Amino acid sequence: MNGRRFFQAFTAGALLLAGACSDQNEPVAPTQPESPSFQPAIQGATDDPVSLARAVPGFGGFYLDDRGIPVVYLKNAAERGNAERALAPFLRAQGLAASQLRVIPARYDWAQLERWSAQASTGVLGVPGGVFVDADEASNRVTIGVERGASARIRGVVARLGIPQEAVVVQETEPIRLAATLRGKVRPAVGGLQINFPGFLCTLGFNAVRNGQRSFITASHCTNHQGGVEATPYYQPLQTTAPTKIATEVSDPGYSPNKTGCPVGFRCRFSDASRAAYASTTTSSLGKIAKTTGPNNGSVTINGNFSITAEGSASVGQTVGKVGRTSGWTTGKVTNKCVNIQVTGTDIVQLCQNIVSARVRSGDSGGPVFKGSSNVTLAGILWGCDCNQNGVGTLYAYSPMSNIERELGALTTF
Q: From CA 292, how far away is CA 272, in angstroms rounded?
A: 25
Percent of the chain with pLDDT over 70: 88
CB 99 within 8 A of CB 112: no
Write down the pLDDT at residue 12. 34
Q: Which of 325, 352, 323 is nearest to 340 (CA)?
A: 352
Q: From CA 332, how far away is CA 356, in angstroms rounded?
A: 6
Phi-psi label, residue 328: left if phi above 0, alpha if psi -120 to 50, beta otherwise: left
Confidence at 174, pLDDT banded by 50, 70, 90: confident
- Complete domains list, the chain, with CATH: 4-22+253-270+285-408 (2.40.10.10)
Confidence at 124, pLDDT banded by 50, 70, 90: confident
Least confident of 25-39, 154-168, 171-185: 25-39
Dihedral (C-alpha) 180, 182, 188, 191: value to the nearest 10 degrees?
A: 150
410 pLDDT more than 90:
yes
Q: pLDDT tens digits, residue range 63-104?
A: 988 888 999 999 999 999 999 999 999 899 889 999 999 999
Task: Report the chain's mean pLDDT, rounded to a whole number.
Answer: 87
23 pLDDT more than 60:
no
Entry pTM? 0.68
CB 169 within 8 A of CB 113: no
More confident residue, 53 or 322: 322
193 pLDDT more than 90:
yes
Write down the pLDDT at residue 97. 94
Mean pLDDT across 376-403: 94
More confident residue, 339 or 380: 380
Contacts of 308 (CB under 8 A, 6+ apart): 206, 287, 288, 289, 370, 375, 376, 377, 378, 413, 414
Mean pLDDT across 324-340: 94
